A and B are shown apart, each in its own frame.
Chain A
């Protein structure tokens, strides 16, 4: 049986044969799986070769971090991603495991630092606002090259200054922090040149160490004798020349700040090295005052009220500050039932320029001075505020006192202060008034009045008054005559003079009129000149004619020639 037989049997003998075309291509379809395999292989190879190291970072808290989402960035370039977050073994730390990109592998050393960047509003600067939307991310700074590492301990606070910023760090020691915070500005000549990086209490708790960063090139302007002061807030000073308001900037007013300067009266010294420690003064005035290390303590007992006398109130000698009040206390003697107010004062002897030689020590010197009349007195520094200060002065008239001691401190005797003195002088004045002989004065006064009366009623006086009136009358008469006779004449003369002047003016005007171009004289002169010119011309023509026709003189002017 063949195909054609079958066809015949089924009645399909008329079915035509197909057209034959030679085959062209084969198996192109296998390109598709090949391409798919290549793409898959490429993806796999890429994933393997590009996978960077896996690192672990320990943090105190994973606040804001999310596994699979939180990125690790350096200079805002994504260099890794957090893969998982786990609690440490003792639950004390959080271990963040992150996959880094391959490029960064060589920079992950033991000096590499990681920190979490969150939105932060501090000390006048707002940072990481973008993280409010995008969530926190982990910042990184590669640091110096070093040994390779895969385990890190993250910083709890981000570094205030980008670690590769050129500049220098300095330490400041202050009594208290004030309104300073991390990020508070540092000013040099009122230009912001740096900021506070960190602060901490000293180990013994007696002071605060503030670390600041000063940008290049201003860190080269910090010298050995440069003074730093707290430029926070407003510095109000009231002096003889009025009220002064000082602030470094509005920023410093609001958030505090530090300023530095090298005082003109000091040699700058060498450029201060990195990490040098300076004292932070509490205001600018302090840097101008030299510091006195040597202090000598004395006590004074005041009988009057010490209201208004504060700690650090000045102790002055004839208006020059020589020290300050250290403490004001109240003492009660139980035996004698007496209250006393010992005021402890620190005298800084370096403030006084010494002259001459002396072999006695300070104790003896004080004793000698007291014997000579050295006394302490309370005085009002400001009537407005009632501030008191201690005034030391020599009172040679003061009753002599013996040198006493209060513990270790010599006692300086006191004299009543200014308020007491005023009261005393008023009392003295009142008692003086009492001694005035009022009766005697009254008697004298009435006698004087009487003699005045007698003088007024005397004849001489009346005569004198009369002759005076006569003289006055004469003077009046004379002046009236003067008025009547002389004045009209003067008037006449003046009128005449006036007329003359008017005449002169008229003449001048006429002359001017004549001389000026438009005057009649000028016109006539011009006309005359024209006539003369015409005449001259006629004579010239005549002469010419006569030259050519001399016969005309005899025969007269003939007809013109043809």
Chain B
């Protein structure tokens, strides 16, 4: 095995895929089945384990688009509405995600600010941007940098769950601090929307089929 380029050449030289071979691999038990020609209108099941068979994830593009758009729409209230109401000595303060970041910057703990900013602002935004880019590139049948795009997808899928750090922090604070007027933390509507954004983007990443990136390559050839 050599460099990445070598691998690319190898795969290009040996272009036998399940698709080409006219078979479908079962995701659950790995059994290969003959590909049905009318797949668009039917739901094939694995003859061995009964799991759904699909040549590519069904409706992957549409589903991912739907989820990405939903996440984009929810991203606005998630950042505009307050995530957390903190009451300290009777003074109630409503914090959005960004105002929390600014608060930590102004209070000197820039590392905390960085963690929150990355986990809660950058990561969801990045995921949405990356997914949108992947979807557009697949729809345009782009054959550029398929390997980089695949890596982007893997990263997107891997880091998605870390955005929930903020939500966990809020839930733990709400549960722990409950001293009435002296010190109290309440979750705001922003947290709900933010959680929805994270979950929906995770589903969106999951419903995207990275094999579509490579389909374009094969069709070119």
Taking a contact as CB atoms under 8 Å apart, the answer to whether A23 and B70 are in contact is: no
Is A432 interfacial (CB 8 A cutoff)? Answer: no
Taking a contact as CB atoms under 8 Å apart, the answer to whether B73 and A133 are in contact is: no
Query: Which B residue sits closest to A22, measured CB to CB?
Result: B42
Taking a contact as CB atoms under 8 Å apart, the answer to whether A12 and B70 are in contact is: no
Taken together as a complex, chains A and B put the C-alpha atoms of A35 and B69 apart, in Å, by: 11
Q: Find chain A residues with CB under 8 A from B172 CB.
A: none
Q: Find chain B residues with CB under 8 A from A22 CB.
A: 41-43
Q: Which stretch from A37-45, A98-106, A300-308 is at the chain B interface?
A: A37-45
Interface centre among A12, A16, A19, A24 (most CB of B within 10 A): A19
Taking a contact as CB atoms under 8 Å apart, the answer to whether A16 and B47 are in contact is: yes
Is A236 interfacial (CB 8 A cutoff)? Answer: no
Chain B contact patch, size range: 35 or more
Is A69 interfacial (CB 8 A cutoff)? Answer: yes
Taking a contact as CB atoms under 8 Å apart, the answer to whether B22 and A6 are in contact is: yes
Taken together as a complex, chains A and B put the C-alpha atoms of A20 and B34 apart, in Å, by: 12
Query: Which B residue sits closest to A71, measured CB to CB?
Result: B92
Q: Which stretch from A26-34, A460-468, A524-532 is at the chain B interface?
A: A26-34
Taking a contact as CB atoms under 8 Å apart, the answer to whether B62 and A27 are in contact is: yes
Contact with A along B59-74 (1 / 0, CB 8 A): 1001100110111011
Q: List 21 A-B contacts (CB under 8 A).
A: A3-B34, A15-B23, A16-B33, A16-B47, A17-B33, A18-B44, A18-B45, A18-B53, A19-B47, A20-B38, A22-B43, A23-B41, A23-B43, A30-B66, A36-B73, A36-B74, A39-B77, A134-B90, A134-B91, A134-B92, A135-B90
Is B164 interfacial (CB 8 A cutoff)? Answer: no
Q: Which 5 A-B pairs have the closest CB atoms?
A: A133-B90, A18-B44, A134-B90, A33-B70, A36-B70
- Residues of A69-92 contacting chain B, CB below 8 A: 69
Q: A29-B67, A130-B90 are in contact. List 19 more A-B contacts (CB 8 A).
A: A3-B22, A3-B35, A6-B21, A12-B34, A15-B32, A15-B33, A18-B47, A18-B53, A21-B43, A22-B42, A22-B43, A27-B59, A27-B62, A33-B67, A39-B74, A69-B93, A133-B91, A134-B92, A135-B91
Taking a contact as CB atoms under 8 Å apart, the answer to whether B36 and A20 are in contact is: yes
Chain A interface residues toward B at CB < 8 A: 3, 6-7, 10, 12, 15-24, 27, 29-30, 32-33, 35-37, 39-40, 43, 69, 130, 132-135
Cross-interface CB contact of A40 among B67, B77, B181, B182, cutoff 8 Å: B77
B198 to chain A, nearest CB (A): 13
A40 to chain B, nearest CB (A): 5
Q: Find chain A residues with CB under 8 A from B69 CB.
A: 33, 36
A131 to chain B, nearest CB (A): 8
Given known contacts A6-B22, A133-B91, A18 and B36 CB-to-CB distance under 8 angstroms: yes
Q: Find chain A residues with CB under 8 A from B23 CB.
A: 7, 12, 15
Taking a contact as CB atoms under 8 Å apart, the answer to whether B89 and A133 are in contact is: yes
Taken together as a complex, chains A and B put the C-alpha atoms of A22 and B91 apart, in Å, by: 61
Taking a contact as CB atoms under 8 Å apart, the answer to whether B32 and A40 are in contact is: no
Taking a contact as CB atoms under 8 Å apart, the answer to whether A21 and B45 are in contact is: yes
B97 to chain A, nearest CB (A): 16
Is B101 interfacial (CB 8 A cutoff)? Answer: no
Query: Which B residue sits closest to A26, measured CB to CB?
Result: B59
Is B131 interfacial (CB 8 A cutoff)? Answer: no
Taking a contact as CB atoms under 8 Å apart, the answer to whether A23 and B42 are in contact is: yes
Q: Find chain A residues with CB under 8 A from B67 CB.
A: 29, 32-33
Query: Which B residue sits closest to A15, measured CB to CB?
Result: B34
Given known contacts A21-B43, A40-B76, A35 and B70 CB-to-CB distance under 8 angstroms: yes
> DSSP majority for the B interface?
mixed
Q: Find chain A residues with CB under 8 A from B46 CB.
A: 18
A134 to chain B, nearest CB (A): 4
Taking a contact as CB atoms under 8 Å apart, the answer to whether A18 and B34 are in contact is: yes
Q: Find chain B residues with CB under 8 A from A23 CB.
A: 41-43
Q: Find chain A residues with CB under 8 A from B213 CB.
A: none
Given known contacts A20-B38, A36-B70, A29 and B93 CB-to-CB distance under 8 angstroms: no
Is B167 interfacial (CB 8 A cutoff)? Answer: no
A117 to chain B, nearest CB (A): 13
Taken together as a complex, chains A and B put the C-alpha atoms of A18 and B46 apart, in Å, by: 6
Q: Find chain B residues with CB under 8 A from A134 CB.
A: 89-92, 181
Is B135 interfacial (CB 8 A cutoff)? Answer: no
Q: Find chain B residues with CB under 8 A from A35 CB.
A: 70
Q: Find chain A residues with CB under 8 A from B53 CB.
A: 18
Taking a contact as CB atoms under 8 Å apart, the answer to whether B62 and A17 are in contact is: no
Taking a contact as CB atoms under 8 Å apart, the answer to whether B45 and A7 are in contact is: no
Taking a contact as CB atoms under 8 Å apart, the answer to whether A33 and B34 are in contact is: no
Taking a contact as CB atoms under 8 Å apart, the answer to whether B42 and A20 are in contact is: yes
B76 to chain A, nearest CB (A): 6
Contact with A along B16-49 (1 / 0, CB 8 A): 1000011110000000111111100111111100
Cross-interface CB contact of A33 among B22, B44, B66, B77, cutoff 8 Å: B66
Q: Find chain B residues with CB under 8 A from A19 CB.
A: 44-45, 47
Q: Find chain B residues with CB under 8 A from A32 CB.
A: 66-67, 70, 200
Query: Which B residue sits closest to A21, measured CB to CB?
Result: B43
Taken together as a complex, chains A and B put the C-alpha atoms of A10 and B41 apart, in Å, by: 27
- Residues of B157-187 contacting chain A, CB below 8 A: 181-182
Taking a contact as CB atoms under 8 Å apart, the answer to whether B33 and A33 are in contact is: no
Taken together as a complex, chains A and B put the C-alpha atoms of A228 and B63 apart, in Å, by: 85
Cross-interface CB contact of B32 among A12, A30, A130, cutoff 8 Å: A12
Q: Find chain A residues with CB under 8 A from B77 CB.
A: 39-40, 43
B18 to chain A, nearest CB (A): 10
Q: Find chain A residues with CB under 8 A from B42 CB.
A: 20-23
Taking a contact as CB atoms under 8 Å apart, the answer to whether B35 and A37 are in contact is: no
Q: Find chain B residues with CB under 8 A from A133 CB.
A: 89-91, 181-182
Query: Which B residue sits closest to A66, measured CB to CB?
Result: B91
Given known contacts A18-B47, A23-B41, A24-B43, A29 and B63 CB-to-CB distance under 8 angstroms: yes
